[in-house]
Amino acid sequence: MKNGQNIRLRITGIVQGVGFRPFVYRVALKYGITGSVRNDTRGVLVHAQGDTASLDSFVEEIRGAPPPLSRVDSISIEDELPADYDGFYIEKSEELDERSAIIPPDSALCAECLAELKDPADRRYGYPFITCTNCGPRFSIVRDIPYDRENTSMKLFTMCHICGREYGDPLDRRFHTQPNACPACGPRLELHDARGTMLSADPMEIARMTVEYAREGRIIAIKSVGGFLLACDAESDSAVIELRRRKGRPFKPFAIMAGSVERAESFLEIGNIEERLLLSHERPILLMKEKASLVSRHVAPGLSYIGLMLPYTPFQHMLFGVDRYLVLVMTSGNVADEPIIYRDRQAFEELGNIADVFITYNRDIEQFSDDSVLFVEKGMPFFARRSRGYVPVPLLLAADGPEVFATGGDLKSSFAFARGRSAVMSQFIGDLESPSANALYRAEMRRFGEIYRFEPRTVACDRHPGYFTSAIAGELEALGMHRIAVQHHHAHIVSVMEERNLAGRVIGIAFDGTGYGTDGRLWGAEFLVADRTEFERLAHFSYFPLPGGESAIRDVWKIGIALLRARYGDDYPIMRRGKEAVMVCEVIEKKINCPETCSIGRIFDGVAAILGIAKSVSAEAEAAMLLEEAALRGAETWIDDGWVIPVSAGFPAVISTESLVERVVTLRLSGRSVEETACAFHAAIAGIAVAMAENIRGKDGLNDVVLSGGAFQNRLLLRLIIDGLREKRFDIHLPEKIPFNDGCLALGQIAVAREIIQHEKR
C-alpha cells in the first residue's frame, strides 16, 4: 500500500456500545483498507490507508449505512502522514475517560434475532434472551460504566464457548454484545403462581400457557425490560374490569399490545408517522384513534384514543407467535399511582394480590423504566412520556457550560444532569407523592451521579416550597451546592428554547395543571415574554379559589362550584345546590384552605363539572380528557360565532375567567348540547391564546411563539392554537424530544441555571 493515501476519521455521536467498531472493521475489509479503529473520549477514531477510490467508498459506506442503534452527529476527515499497516485492527480502547462514555438505550428485538428465534434449526430457537449488537437490553441492565459485561447484571452468567466465540469475532453480529447469551449459558425464564411456586421453566410452554391464561381471563405479571407489566386479554370486559378493580385504577387508560401493524390496523387508525414510530427500535406506545370496537371499552373508558405498542422483547414475540390475533392489555406493574415494580421480591409481595401468575427471569433489572408514550397531532409526534428506548440518550444542548443537576418537578417527575454540550434526562419516575416514589427518586439520582461521575456544583429546582424536588435541592444546598430556583412556567418555556436552540426573547404560552407563581399563587395559564434568565408575565386568566387546595383536585365538582360562585355568587344557575355544595360555598366565603389559582387545567376540571361530564375523578387530567372527548364530538356540528373572552386593558392583561364561565353556562342553558358547549369552550381558549400572542407581538415585536405545558396534550386545543397561530403567521416552536408536561422541567431548569451562572461570572 505504499502508494496509498492516509486519512484520519473522527466520528462523534452515539457510536459506542452500538457495534460501530466492528462495522468499520467489516467495511474496511470489504474495500481492502488497512489501518485501525478505536473508541476514545470523543467517539470513534479511525486511521485508514488505501487508494483514493477505495477510501471514498469506505467513507461513503460509513456515512450512509451506520449500525441501526448508532446516531452519527459528525464525521471529520483529515489527511495523515503515511504509516505502515499490515491489516485492519480493532484496537483496545484508550484509557476511556468515563466522563464522556455513554450508555445505550434499551432496544427492541431486531429482525435478524426474531428470525433466529423462530427458526427451529437455530440454537436460540424459542430462547427469550436472544440478542445481538443491534438489539436488546442495555440501560436496564447497566450497573456502572464503562458499558462492559462485568458492569451489567449479565456478570453472573459466564458465556459458553460458542457464545464466547461470537463475542470475540469482529465479523459476528454478536461481537462485543454484552448481554450475549444462549439456552446453555444465559438467563432463564420461569413461570410461577402467585405464591412463588414454579410451574414451568420451558419458555415455549410458558408462552403457550400465558396465552391460555389470558384467554381464561386471568391476570399475568410479566417481567419485561424496565419492570413488571400486567397483562390480560384486552378483548375481555370482565378481565379488564377485574384488573382495574385489583389495581385500584378506575379510569386511567391502559396500554395494549398487538402482534403486528396489520392486527392493530383492524381497529385503530394508524398513519404513516404512527407506523414508523410503532416499528422503530424504541417501540413506544402510540396513542391512536379507535376506528372499530375490538378491545373492551374499559381499556380507555370514555376515550376515543387508545395507546398501543408492538412487541419488543423475544418473549412478547413468542406470545404473538402462539396466537397472532391476540390483543393484550400491557400496563405498568404497580399499585395505583406508585412507580413501576422491577424487583422480583417486591413484585411477588406487592403484585401478589393483582396477578394470578408471574413470569420472571433470573437476571436483575438494574434501572427501571416505563414504556414511552407518544401521540401524533398535525403530522408531528409529541412525547407524553419519554422513558424506555429513549433514556439515557443525551440531548444535545445549545452550548457548552458548567455541570448542573436539575431536580425537575413533582409530577411526571424526571431529573437531569448537564455536562458539556449534553444533558442526560432520567427515566420517567412518575408522581412523587408517596414515600416509595421519593425513595426511588433518591436512589436513581444517586445512581446516575455514580455511574456518570457527575460532580455538579449547581442544583436547579422549581420554586414550589412544598415540592419534594425542592427539598432535595435544599439538601444539596446544605451540602454546599449553589441552588438556583426556577419559576415553573419559565422552565417550561425555556425547555423548548433549549431543545429547539432558540436565542433571545420569545412569546411563551404555558398552559398546564399547576405551577407555583412568583406571587405565591398557583399559576397555570401563562403568557410570558421570556429569555433564558428572565421572564415577564404579560397575561393570565383571572384568579379563582381552589377549595381544599391542590390536594383536592380530585373533587372537580368543587372547582365547578368555585368557578360558578366567582361569576354568579351563591345563586348560580346551573349544578345542584346540595348540602355539600353549600358547605363548599362557606369554605370559599371564609377562605379556609382556598388558595387562588388561574390554572387552565383547573378551569378544564371545573367546566367539565359544570357540564356534568365529571364529578369526582381518580386521576389528574381525567375530567379534562373527558371534556376534550365531548368537544371532539361537538366539533362536528359547532360553528364558531367569533366570541372572544374579554381582557383587561394594558399589561399584565387579565383574561376574564368569569366571562368564560358565563359563556359556558349561557350556551348550555340556551339549549346547546354539552358537546357543542365543550367545543365552544375549547375554541374560546384557543382564540384568546392567539389574540393575546398578537397583542404581545404588537407591544414587543416578537414573532416566535413557544408552547409548553401539559394542557397541550389536549389534541383539540393544540390543533386549534397551532392553526390560529399559523394563520397569523407566527413562528411556532414545539417540543420534539421532551414532553409538553412537567417531564420537560429539568431541561428548562438546566438552561436557566447555566445562563444565570454565565451572567454571574461576567
Q: Least separation, in Å, of the C-beta of 180 and Zn ion?
A: 7
Closest separation in Å from C-beta 312 to Zn ion:
12
Distance of CA 340 to the CA centre of its chain: 14
Question: Residue 631 contacts by C-beta under 8 Å, 6 or more apart in sequence?
Answer: 675, 678, 679, 681, 682, 716
CA distance 43 to 416: 22
Stretch that binds Zn ion, among 39-47, 103-111, 565-573, 676-684 (CB under 5 A): 103-111
For Zn ion, the binding residue among 37, 55, 132, 142 (CB under 5 A) is 132
The tally of CA atoms less than 13 A away on the side-chain side of residue 313 is: 24
Number of residues that bind Fe ion (CB under 5 A): 3
Q: How many residues bind Zn ion (CB under 5 A)?
A: 10
Residue 182's binding partner out of Fe ion, Zn ion, none, with CB under 5 to 8 Å set by partner kind: Zn ion
Stretch that binds Zn ion, among 154-162, 262-270, 330-338, 643-651 (CB under 5 A): 154-162
Helices (H), 453-589: 468-478, 488-499, 556-568, 579-589
Alpha-carbon span 133 to 233, nearest angstrom: 33
Total residue count of the chain as it appears in this document: 762
Q: Which of residues 435-464 bind Zn ion (CB under 5 A)?
A: none
Dist. CA 389–CA 737, nearest whole Å: 13
Q: Which residues pair with 380 in a beta bridge?
A: 377
Say how far apart CA 737 and CA 708 lie, in whole Å. 12
Q: Per CB under 5 A, which region of 68-76, 303-311, 473-481, 741-749 contacts Fe ion?
A: 741-749
Residue pair 450/444 in contact (Cβ under 8 Å)? The answer is no
243 versus 621: smaller Cβ distance to Fe ion: 621
Choice between 318 and 745, CB closer to Fe ion: 745
- Give 156 or 336: the residue with its C-beta nearer to Zn ion: 156
Nearer to Zn ion (CB atom), residue 185 or residue 619: 185
Least distance to Fe ion from the beta carbon of 105, Å?
Answer: 25
Please identify, among the stretches 162-170, 393-401, 645-653, 675-683, the one whose residues bind Zn ion according to the rule CB under 5 A.
162-170
Closest CA to 58 of 83, 88, 85: 88
Work out how close the CB of 176 gets to Zn ion at its nearest, in angstroms, rounded to a whole number.
Answer: 13
Q: Which one, of 576, 541, 544, 546, lies nearest residue 558 by Cα?
A: 546
Cell 368557578 sits on residue: 563
Our finding on whether 680 is near Zn ion (CB under 5 A) is: no
Q: How far apart are CA 215 and CA 635, in angstroms?
A: 39
DSSP string, 82-125: ----SSEEEPPPPS--GGG--PPPPBPPPHHHHHHHH-TTSTTT
- From Fe ion, Zn ion, none, interface partner of 185 (C-beta below 5 to 8 A by class): Zn ion
Nearer to Zn ion, 109 or 746 (CB): 109
Q: Residue 309 binds which one of Zn ion, Fe ion, none, with CB within 5 to 8 A depending on kind?
A: none
Regarding 113 and contact with Zn ion (CB under 5 A), the answer is: yes
**Interface stretch with Zn ion, choices 108-116, 430-438, 600-608, 733-741 (CB under 5 A):** 108-116
Q: What is the Cα–Cα distance from 91 to 207, expressed in whole angstroms?
A: 42
Gap between the Cα atoms of 229 and 224, Å rounded: 6
Q: How far apart are CA 391 and CA 104, in angstroms?
A: 8
* Cβ 120 to Zn ion shortest distance, Å: 18
19/748 with CB nearer Fe ion = 748
Q: Which stretch binds Zn ion (CB under 5 A): 17-25, 159-167, 359-367, 578-586?
A: 159-167
Cell numbers found for residue 181? 447469551
Which of 134/332 has CB closer to Zn ion? 134
Q: Take residue 539 and report the three cell numbers written for it.
A: 397575561
**Residue number with CB closer to Zn ion (23 or 358):** 23
Question: Minimum Å distance from CB 314 to Zn ion?
Answer: 9
Q: Of Zn ion, Fe ion, none, which one sits near residue 132, judging by CB under 5 to 8 A according to partner kind?
A: Zn ion
Question: Where are the strands (E) in 157-312, listed by range?
Answer: 189-193, 198-200, 220-223, 228-233, 256-258, 285-289, 305-309
**CA atoms of 631 and 639, how far apart (whole Å):** 12
Q: Which is nearer to Zn ion, 134 or 296 (CB)?
A: 134
**Cβ pair 392, 417 in contact under 8 A:** no
Q: According to CB under 5 A, which one of 15, 24, 102, 110 is a site residue for Zn ion?
A: 110
Which residue in the shown chain puts its C-beta closest to Fe ion?
Answer: 512
Exactly one of 160, 199, 552, 619 binds Zn ion (CB under 5 A); that residue is: 160
- Nearest residue to 402 (alpha-carbon basis) of 416, 415, 420: 420
Residues contacting 81, CB < 8 A, separation 6+:
6
Q: How far is the CA of 434 from the CAs of 331, 338, 466, 576, 742, in angstroms?
A: 20, 7, 14, 35, 18
The residue among 136 and 515 lying less far from Fe ion, judged by its C-beta, is: 515
CB of 489 to Fe ion, least distance (A): 7
Binding at 66: pick from Zn ion, Fe ion, none (beta carbon under 5-8 Å per type): none
117 binds Zn ion (CB under 5 A): no
- Identify which of residues 312 and 572 has a Cβ nearer to Zn ion in the complex: 312
Name which of 165 and 591 has its Cβ closer to Zn ion: 165
Q: Name the minimum Å distance from CB 524 to Fe ion.
A: 7
* Contact call for residues 684 and 644 (beta carbons, < 8 A): yes
* Touching Fe ion, residues 503-542 (CB under 5 A): 512, 515
Of these partners, Fe ion, Zn ion, none, which one is at the site of residue 429 (CB under 5 to 8 Å by kind)? none
- Which of Fe ion, Zn ion, none does 742 bind, CB closer than 5 to 8 A by kind? Fe ion
Rounded to whole angstroms, how far apart are CA atoms 54 and 51?
A: 5
Q: Which is nearer to Fe ion, 178 or 487 (CB)?
A: 487
Q: Which is nearer to Zn ion, 183 or 217 (CB)?
A: 183
Nearest distance in Å: CB 549, Fe ion: 17
Q: For Zn ion, which is the closer residue by CB, 138 or 249?
A: 138
Residue of 526, 595, 553, 564 lying closest to 657 (CA atoms):
564
Select from 133-141, 528-536, 697-705, 739-747 the region that touches Fe ion (CB under 5 A).
Answer: 739-747
CB of 224 to Zn ion, least distance (A): 17
Residue 675 binds Fe ion, judged by CB under 5 A:
no
Say which entry of Fe ion, Zn ion, none residue 163 contacts (CB below 5 to 8 A, set by partner kind). Zn ion
Minimal distance in Å, beta carbon 535 to Fe ion?
14
CB-nearer residue toward Zn ion: 9 or 154: 154
Q: Does 410 bind Fe ion (CB under 5 A)?
A: no
One-character DSSP codes across 666-704: HHHHTT--HHHHHHHHHHHHHHHHHHHHHHHHHHH---E
Q: Is the previous residue joined to 381 through a cis bond, with omega within 30 degrees of 0?
A: no
What part of residues 166-225 is at the interface with Zn ion (CB under 5 A)? 182, 184-185
Question: Taking CB within 5 to 8 Å according to partner kind, which of Zn ion, Fe ion, none is near residue 77?
Answer: none
Contact with Fe ion (CB under 5 A): which of 742, 743, 750, 756? Answer: 742
Among 27, 101, 135, 607, which residue sits at the site for Zn ion (rule: CB under 5 A)? 135
Which of the stretches 5-13, 155-163, 266-274, 666-674 binds Zn ion when contact is defined by CB under 5 A? 155-163
Amino acid at 519: D
Q: How far apart are CA 758 and CA 762, in angstroms?
A: 7
Cis peptide before 392 (omega within 30 of 0): yes
**Ramachandran angles phi, psi of 64, nearest 5°:** -85, -30
Residue 605 in the binding site for Fe ion (CB under 5 A): no
Contacts of 443 (CB under 8 A, 6+ apart): none
Residues that bind Zn ion (CB under 5 A): 110, 113, 132, 134-135, 160, 163, 182, 184-185
Binding site for Fe ion (CB under 5 A): 512, 515, 742
